[in-house]
Chain A
Amino acid sequence: MSDDDGARVFTPPNLLRAKVGNKSGPNLDQIVAKAEAALTGLQDDYEVWIRDDLKTLRDAVASLRQEVDPTVLERVKILSHEIKGQGATYGYPLLTTVGHLLYGFIDRDADVAARHLDLIDAHVDFMALVLSEKIDDQGGLQAQGILAGLEDAAKKAHGEGPRAAGATRSAK
């Protein structure tokens, strides 16, 4: 690591250790249970927020059909990234997966994404379905089939062949 040539290493005083002292906190299971209960309490709010986000996505795609504006497409990408980051936290891991797929589809090549607005709509439709059906896990075979279809369609749009049957999906 040439960046370290002539580097000076030093240890600032650990003021935080002194500040927290030697007291024990709650055990980790208690922390997790309390946080999960609090997040469950926020789930109703989240469902309102995510519906607003889905409407924003639909409006953005409608706008893109009229005129391809890169800033609007970027907004769709950012919003899909936010959905990826929040879905599982609020008990919707499938929203995280679909958000991840949509973000990846646009991030890979925005010009390709702009030519395949129906595919963006298909991601949004699936997110709406997850929400309306309250699918709070990775879904059954049908859901996994839809995910595989979205992923294959994205690859095809980007000029790749579909996944091999039985291949593991890369999305987290």
Chain B
Amino acid sequence: MTTTISLEALSILVVDDNKHMHSVVKAILNSMRIKNIRFSDNAADAFMEMRQWHPDIIITDWAMQPLDGLDFVRLVRKGADSPNPYIPIILLTGHTEMCRVIEARDTGVNEILAKPISIKSLYSRIAAIVQNPRPFVKSKNYFGPCRRRATNLNYKGPERRQSEMVA
């Protein structure tokens, strides 16, 4: 029996142009006792919700129109008028090819979750965001959560990151 942390205080914005997926994600989040959920069909509406409602976490689909999920993530992370560039973002996608995963990671998502959605996986992604948030990186070409999942203790090359150079 695996114990969990209580997530019921969280507010989550779900961005997906497919109404069926709203029902799926809502059912799963409700099972975690998360009731504070709102839904947006598109990026523009999601931006409005972010400004007015200030969700804690965003769960967005990749395949949307007119802007897709990665366009939306870019606007959140780098847009001059972004309501919250640091908000944790979980990307839902049926694209599980490695090149697509890397593309999503390089856009600045915190977590990627393959569809069909696994209930345990969604819980673990949310719990990771709450319990072990990754630091943020700002460089010439990237702004978002640190993309390094592991530290290579045998790495002997130059350190390129300012904070690590200072430390």
Distance, CA A15 to CA B28, complexed state (A): 23
Q: Name A25's contact: one of B6, B57, B120, B147 (CB within 8 Å).
A: B6
With A14-B133, A85-B115, A86-B20 as known contacts, state yes or no: A20 contacts B162, CB within 8 Å: no
Please give, as numbers and ranges, the residues of chain A lying within 8 Å of B163 by CB-CB distance.
8-10
**Contact of B31 with A38 in the complex, beta carbons under 8 Å:** yes
Q: Name B94's contact: one of A11, A38, A81 (CB within 8 Å).
A: A81
**Contact of B27 with A19 in the complex, beta carbons under 8 Å:** no
Distance, CA A42 to CA B28, complexed state (A): 12
Q: Name B129's contact: one of A9, A16, A34 (CB within 8 Å).
A: A16
User: What is the total number of residues of chain A having a CB less than 8 Å from a CB of chain B?
Assistant: 51
- Tell me the nearest residue of chain B to A88, going by C-beta: B116
Please give, as numbers and ranges, the residues of chain B lying within 8 Å of A6 by CB-CB distance.
139-140, 160, 162
**Contact of B7 with A20 in the complex, beta carbons under 8 Å:** yes
With A4-B139, A8-B163, A29-B1 as known contacts, state yes or no: A19 contacts B9, CB within 8 Å: yes
How extensive is the interface on chain B, given as a class? 35 or more
Please give, as numbers and ranges, the residues of chain B lying within 8 Å of A29 by CB-CB distance.
1-2
Interface residues of B in 1-56 (CB under 8 A from A): 1-10, 18, 20-21, 23-24, 27-28, 30-33, 56
Distance, CA A84 to CA B21, complexed state (A): 12
**Contact of B133 with A3 in the complex, beta carbons under 8 Å:** no
**Contact of B56 with A86 in the complex, beta carbons under 8 Å:** no
User: From residue A70, how far is it (CB to closest CB) to chain B in Å?
Assistant: 15
Please give, as numbers and ranges, the residues of chain A lying within 8 Å of B161 by CB-CB distance.
4, 7-9
**Contact of B120 with A28 in the complex, beta carbons under 8 Å:** yes
Q: Name A3's contact: one of B4, B20, B141 (CB within 8 Å).
A: B141
**Contact of B18 with A82 in the complex, beta carbons under 8 Å:** yes
- B66 CB within 8 Å of chain A: no
Please give, as numbers and ranges, the residues of chain A lying within 8 Å of B56 by CB-CB distance.
15-16, 19
**Contact of A86 with B24 in the complex, beta carbons under 8 Å:** yes
Distance, CA A38 to CA B92, complexed state (A): 20
Distance, CA A1 to CA B10, complexed state (A): 34
Please give, as numbers and ranges, the residues of chain B lying within 8 Å of A16 by CB-CB distance.
10, 56-57, 88, 129-130, 133
**Contact of B115 with A84 in the complex, beta carbons under 8 Å:** yes
- B82 CB within 8 Å of chain A: no
Please give, as numbers and ranges, the residues of chain B lying within 8 Å of A90 by CB-CB distance.
24
Please give, as numbers and ranges, the residues of chain B lying within 8 Å of A19 by CB-CB distance.
9-10, 56
Known: A86-B21, A89-B116. 7 other contacts (CB 8 A): A6-B140, A7-B142, A9-B162, A27-B3, A49-B20, A82-B63, A100-B94
* B-to-A contact residues, CB < 8 Å: 1-10, 18, 20-21, 23-24, 27-28, 30-33, 56-57, 63, 86, 88, 92, 94, 96, 106, 115-117, 119-120, 123, 129-131, 133, 135-142, 146-147, 160-164
